[in-house]
């Protein structure tokens, strides 16, 4: 009986399968592995994995057989004591296991939703998150919108407010001056975009509330309501 364990992270093989592949008696192989385990633990700092397998007996009963569960590295270390033919069989068996694992991963990948469905799902999640995040700034005005009410370009508008000490630039964006920060003149909006390679870009920028617009009207002397 061949016994092997394959999971998504580490492939392993049992001493039972090694014994079957190499024609060794399993109890003798277990004895040899225990002897080699001493040096392995000294160098690696850990013992080999120990488990058991259930066998059906001719009389209908079952028997638990202890066995080692070894990674590829551990298995090839054990194989250093084998003859050339036994080592060759183990190497080929590992090649089979790795090819089977590669096929399984490809099959798993084919079971994933299409890129379009993944994007649609991501859009829904990100969209709802942004809606909740930006809800406080829903009725605010961007600097570009406010600048138009003063017949200014956005560049000139920001420069004027900077020179008046109303705002300053830091961290790649405009910030309201500290003495005005608690007056609810501005709120933050967050914008998320993606490059063609799927790299996420997040931009946070300041917007103006109606109270902020009234404050600017008074400061700039251009009443626009």
**Tens of pLDDT, residues 79-120:** 888 888 888 888 888 888 888 887 777 777 666 677 787 778
**Overall domain count for the chain:** 2
79 and 15 in one domain?
yes
pTM: 0.48
Establish if 225 belongs to a structural domain: no
Helix (H) or strand (E) holding 29: helix 26-44
Query: What number is the average pLDDT over the span 107-134?
Result: 77
**pLDDT value for 28:** 93
My answer on whether 149 and 196 are in the same domain is yes
**Which residues span the domain enclosing 181?**
133-220
Residues 6+ apart with CB under 8 A from 207: 137, 140, 141, 142, 143, 186, 187, 188, 189
pLDDT band per the 50, 70, 90 thresholds, residue 196: confident
Collapsing DSSP to helix, strand or coil, 20 comes out as helix
Residue 166 lies in a domain: yes
Q: What is the mean pLDDT of residues 178-206?
A: 89
Give per-residue pLDDT as tens, 138-189.
Answer: 899 999 999 999 999 999 999 999 999 999 999 889 999 999 999 999 999 9
Same domain for 92 and 11, yes or no, is: yes
Please compute the mean of the pLDDT values over residues 192-202 and round it to a whole number.
83
CA-CA distance, 6 to 99, in Å (whole number)? Answer: 12
């Amino acid at each position: 009986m061949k016994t092997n364990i394959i999971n998504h992270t580490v492939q392993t093989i049992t001493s039972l399968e090694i014994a079957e592949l190499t024609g060794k008696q399993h109890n003798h192989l277990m004895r040899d592995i225990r002897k080699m385990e001493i040096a392995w633990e000294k160098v690696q700092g850990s013992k080999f994995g120990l488990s058991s397998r259930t066998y059906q007996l001719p009389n209908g009963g079952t028997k638990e057989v202890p066995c080692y569960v070894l990674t590829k590295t551990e298995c090839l270390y054990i194989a250093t004591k084998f003859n050339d033919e036994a080592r060759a069989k183990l190497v080929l068996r590992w090649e089979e296991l790795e090819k089977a694992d590669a096929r399984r991963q490809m099959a798993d990948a084919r079971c994933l939703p299409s890129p379009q469905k993944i994007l649609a799902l991501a859009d829904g999640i990100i969209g709802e998150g942004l809606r909740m995040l930006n809800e406080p700034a829903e009725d605010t005005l961007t600097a570009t919108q406010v600048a138009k009410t003063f017949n200014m370009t956005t560049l000139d508008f920001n420069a004027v407010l900077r020179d008046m000490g109303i705002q300053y630039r830091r961290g790649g964006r405009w910030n309201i001056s500290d003495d005005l920060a608690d007056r609810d003149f501005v709120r933050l909006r967050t914008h998320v975009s993606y490059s063609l390679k799927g790299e996420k870009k997040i931009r946070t920028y300041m917007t103006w509330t109606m109270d902020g617009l009234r404050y600017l009207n008074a400061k700039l002397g251009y009443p626009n309501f």
